[in-house]
């Protein structure tokens, strides 16, 4: 495990490499965070160039742990991306959106009168272990060199091959129908939006993600992260 920095200052060797745990706020893209940190380092250390990257994208509407690597440590980003991840979030039953989250408006409504807490909890096990899921069209995955979300915004839908992912733990923490709160521990490459979407279909309804927070990546925890205010 690479030891993360706990305080940002000009004395750190950013070129040799630093690992920074950031609490990404809602509304920021992962690249927004990278740009802000890169700008800070260049300004405070009087550098013309510095490599900065993140180890695992968080959607703009999601918050929580984002790992930033600088300098020579950017070579280890792919290694960090493979680590297990933990999330807590909330889904809304009885409706769906094209993006599977709040980025787009509800476009389909489904019945929920047949749903009760027992049905919700009994269907969690269907999503444990090695499963296949299709990434959402509203994602940064490239198809023929074009980001899928750019095609989705033009109402172009493509057939996306399902990917094998692993759900280590899926736990319902609170139920106030139509809202359901949950915790998930999963492998790299898992789309929580898709998990929520597929869960809604499994209980003969619809569902979309209303909030998401990443709390852990491997042994790195959100509780040890720095806020963007530390950089601003």
Per-residue b/e over 27-46, b at no fewer than 16 CB within 10 Å? ebebeebbebbbebbeeeee
Angle at 115 (CA atoms; ends 183, 178), nearest 5 degrees: 60
The active-site residue, picked from 11, 13, 32, 59, is 59
- The reply to whether 11 belongs to the active site is no
Q: Give the C-alpha separation, 148 to 150, whole Å.
A: 5
Taking the CA atoms of residue 134, residue 136, residue 141 and residue 145 in that order, the dihedral angle to the nearest 10 degrees is 100
Tokens found for residue 144: 């023929």
* Nearest CA-CA partner of 180 in 198, 204, 199, 167: 199
Q: Which residues are identified as catalytic?
A: 59
């Amino acid at each position: 495990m690479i030891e993360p920095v706990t305080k940002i200052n000009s004395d750190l060797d950013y070129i040799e490499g630093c690992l920074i745990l950031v609490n990404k706020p809602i509304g920021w893209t992962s690249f927004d965070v990278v740009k802000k940190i890169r700008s800070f380092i260049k300004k405070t250390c009087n550098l013309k160039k510095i490599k900065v990257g993140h180890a695992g994208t968080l959607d703009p509407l999601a918050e929580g742990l984002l790992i930033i690597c600088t300098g020579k440590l950017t070579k280890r980003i792919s290694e960090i991306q493979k680590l297990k991840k933990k999330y807590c979030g909330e889904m809304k039953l009885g409706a769906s959106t094209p993006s599977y989250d709040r980025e787009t408006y509800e476009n389909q409504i489904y019945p929920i009168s047949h749903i009760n807490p027992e049905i919700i909890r009994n269907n969690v096990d269907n999503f444990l272990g090695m499963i296949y899921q299709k990434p959402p069209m509203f994602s940064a995955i490239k198809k023929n060199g074009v980001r899928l979300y750019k095609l989705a915004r033009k109402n172009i839908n493509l057939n996306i091959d399902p990917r094998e992912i692993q759900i280590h733990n899926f736990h319902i923490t609170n139920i106030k129908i139509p809202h359901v709160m949950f915790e998930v521990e999963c492998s790299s490459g898992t789309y929580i939006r898709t998990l929520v979407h597929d869960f809604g279909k499994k209980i003969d309804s619809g569902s979309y993600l209303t909030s998401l927070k990443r709390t852990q990546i491997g042994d790195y925890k959100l509780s040890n992260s720095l806020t963007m205010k530390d950089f601003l």
